[in-house]
Structure 1
Amino acid sequence: MTQIKQVKLGSQGLVVPAVGLGCMGMSKWAGEYDIYGKSADENESIATIHRSLELGGNFLDTADVYGPLANERLIAKAIKGNREKYLIATKFGFEVDDNEQLTGKINGSSEYVRKAVERSLKNLGTDYIDLYYLHRLDTGTPIEETVGAMADMVKEGKIRHIGLSEVGSQTIQIAHAIHPLTAVQSEFSLFERNIEEIGIIDTLNELGVGLVAYSPIGRGFLSGEILKPEDLPENDSRRGMPRYQGERFFKNIELVKEIKIMAEEKSITTAQLAIAWVIAKGHVPIPGTRKVKNLEANIASAEIVLGSEDLDRLESIVPLGSDVGARYDEAGMKMVNL
């Protein structure tokens, strides 16, 4: 396989591979299973990270809440001895206490910023973080305080680039005026275009801020491998998402079938077509996987060229504003685009 192409992420000088690697599902969470209901294998995950690097895919995405803390520690093992070859993005905000337990709060206070940075540096086994995001907005703390504290970490050399996750246009504009943002991370796929619909992408383009798109395969829906509700393990968190429930599930399956027809015409998978669509829209997808085979297919998506007719055809299957079901339950939706 050829080395993946590199692209600029935002306008602050960060260059990343066209497809990043979402690491959330690579480590076990509290309890026996991970968030998608399957037991995680550390050796398999590390092998996938190493193969990604061989192909030029050195952009790893994690967060302190994943585990909690277990995912950062896994990445530390994977990158040991080769730290300078990787670009590490991690996130903070879901408060983790000194006993490594989630408190149920979002904390963006200046004090917590410093505490979270120092903890992530230790867990990752590094002295700097390439891209550091606020995971969710702390509505009880002014964004000026949070980003101001993150900017202090930049001055100290502990963070190289600042990002935000799942925030609205006004928050982006205020934050960017405090310290230039490199990227905003949000869910974005053929099945999730709300940030395009409400103008957030326009705001990013105006400010020169990159978009890092997580769940570009629609949380697995666009893989074409989920055909009936029973295909999801009983403890899979996706069973609680409106997109995967009731009549909406089967309507979405019909959309995926149409997308699959187009993918087969191009001799690619529906997942590759979904990833290529995000790239063609000018963004950096970070599909998550812990399997080398899937990783190689995801990276190969960067070589797929989609013309305007291809984009029009895909977007006619799932037009802007389509109701494919919410991506989170009611509580989760209250925490996005703030």
Structure 2
Amino acid sequence: MAITKPKTKPGLQTSELKTILSNNAIYIVLLVLSLTIGILNKNFLSPSNIGNILRISSVRMIIALGVSGALITRGTDLSAGRVVALTACISASLLQRPDYAYKIYENLPDLPIILPILLAVLIGTIIGIINGTIIAYLKVPAFIATLGMQVIVYGFACIYTNAQPIGGLRDDFTNLASGSMLLIPNLVLIAAIIIAAIWFMYNHTQFGKYIYAIGGNPSAAEVSGVKVEPTLVKVYALAGGLYGLAGALLAARTGGATNNYGLMYELDAIAACTIGGVSTSGGIGRVSGIITGVLIFEVLSNGLVILGVSAYWQQVIKGIIIITAVAFDIRKYFAKR
């Protein structure tokens, strides 16, 4: 009697291919986008330009990782960009050259660069704690609470700087951003450490599990023993600390600071997170996707500049991408219901 081979299910390979493409779509988009711009302009893939993209992206990644916690817990943070500006101004004002004519603090001795950076992180953390407390305990919607904080922090930045730019930063501070170690830019190394720490926290700590539980279903999380309010405060405190670090690094990278630094950074971070797979419905998001989302935005921005596209059209294109990403996210959410 002849033995017949079992028939394979029709369409199985196609289904597997669709799954692979769906799970890795964002990485494919980044690759295709990079190659397309590289073909159109060879300068795009030059080592110097790639290094520039990575340096700019490093600061943006730190901000996006801070925003991601708020998004995963069904919140948001519109104060991110202004916190970056305030902490950039404060850290820059404490690290000006002794011979600079327009020092904020004329008799301030040379401080170790770590102190102003830690102060920036501390200030950002305090602002985050205030945000988290208002959201968690006063039950003010995250959109409103952080929007109000955005305005408050911008006011403080204007008062602190008197709406004047801060320059004349010390070389040891600016070298922190422009230097490299083993041919890897310092900013990329710092971002890599932060990325690794956040990945570990999200995936291997109780705090990380609580974040996803709250985002998935706050009521169920509370019933199962999750301390929702303290966790939310910690989420926004962590976010604020990351904004503070990003602000100090941004000042070092640009060699100065103004009260208008960080403008629209929070929207770019939210968009990068959404494109990277962080659900606007909460409870979903991977660090690898967030990083890729940031890179897609920076590759797109850099590529459009190199290709000579108007800055106004760049904003139009970014807006279309944001709306499309959120639309797809909402479709996936309703498909699962």
TM-score when scaled to structure 1?
0.25
In terms of fraction of residues, the more strand-rich structure is 1
Structure index of larger Rg: 2
Structure with the bigger RCO (C-alpha within 8 Å, sep 6+) is: 2
